[in-house]
Amino acid sequence: MKKFNYHQPTRIVFGKGRIEETGEIVKEFGSRCLLVTTPAVAATEAQFERVREIILASGVELAHFDQVIPNPTTETSSAGAAIAREHRADVIVGLGGGSSMDAAKAIAVEASHEGSAWDYLFYKKEPTEKTLPVVSISTTSGTGSQVTQVSVITNPDERDKSALYHPRCFPRVCIVDPELMLTVPKQVTAATGFDVFCHAFESTIHPGRGAYIELLAREAISIVTSTLPSLLENLGDIEAREIMAWADTLAGLCIASAGVTLPHGMGMAVGGMYPHVAHGESLAILYPACTKFTASSAVEQYAFMARAINPDLVQASDEAAADAAYDEIVKFLKSIGLYKNLKDVNMPEDEIEALAKQSMVLPDYQGNPRVATPEEMVALVKEAYSQT
């Protein structure tokens, strides 16, 4: 059996109605809380107010930073950290999807350290024990951020999307309540659901994988492929929302101990250069080309992927199933409305080489079973740009 490491310090509070425990959980870490969210819209206003009332009812003094944007930036974390310091916050609560939870982690670092969150990226300075505790509350399924030590952040001046990555960024507690996910619109449900699939699958081909990771990841992959298409036809299905939330949590546990590979490294580059493209959407654009590039170098894993999407392949050999993985991922993306190319999201054709270069900044591509050369990376971007 392959050697592996596994570490998960986040306490997971999972299930319908568990949001009611938020106040008492927050009180474990202090009496002054900063709530971090996106601006309220019709789909989120009621849930934000519900959480505010639960926290206030526990006797905790609350400030609310509600200016998180998709693909949160260094300006986002700096603005939130300023409010956290002014409020003298003891604890940060990230309520929302990955953007809000990632911003909460970055704010927890910046509010308690000199400089900005960007100074504490994974290859720079390490956050210290001064980092404020974070309680994460997920409202999508999702990025897995509720159980990871990762805070993805974008520097718009550099057109660079990178990450804080440190054990001190793990949320102390996460609350996963599918009741909060019932108002997530169809396109967001699809994009975040596919992100779950990607986290789980890439964990199975990552060098840091092991028996425990593969067990969790395969369960998450099977849930997404069997549940997401039908959920998109009935967004109010609370049981489907709950099992997708479980898959998201499993996939988050996987990437917290293993990691992601080529598609995520490229997807982060897309998000950094074109912030209007949602993370799950960028992954969907890149997955066909990455699958074609990698499948023959990870036959067992891609065979599992293909069979999870199309159970008729269970009788096929691993080689035949892996060969079918490209066609199957394309069919799956079409079934959830996410099959498109980089041209469709208004990427300029003359930036293909720039995107390829940016895709090699993060080390994720180096953990892929087949490591792309600079020339191969350009070819991958070209294929993702024009695939039909």
Same fold for the domain at 11-181 and the one at 187-386? no
In what helix (H) or strand (E) does residue 245 lie, and over which residues does it extend?
helix 238-257
Place of tokens 């892996």: 322
**CATH ID of 11-181, from 3.40.50.1970, 1.10.1060.10, 2.40.10.120, 3.40.50.2300:** 3.40.50.1970
Give the single-character DSSP code of 201: H
Fold topology of 187-386: Dehydroquinate synthase-like, alpha domain (1.20.1090)
Give the torsion through C-alpha atoms of 115, 363, 71, 325, to 10 deg: -170
pLDDT in tens, 55-73: 999 999 999 999 999 999 9
Domain range summary for the chain, segments of one domain joined by +:
11-181, 187-386
How do strand 160-165 and strand 150-155 relate by DSSP bridges? antiparallel
Which residues on adjacent β-strands are paired with residue 73? Answer: 154
Q: How confident is the model at residue 1 (pLDDT cuts 50, 70, 90)?
A: confident
Q: Tell me the CA distances in angstroms from 45 to 49, 54, 100, 155, one per residue in order.
A: 6, 14, 15, 28
Structural tokens at position 353: 């080489």
- Over residues 256-273, the mean pLDDT reads 96
Calculate what percentage of the chain has a pLDDT beyond 70.
100
CA distance 301 to 290: 14
Look at the pTM and tell me if it is higher than 0.85. yes
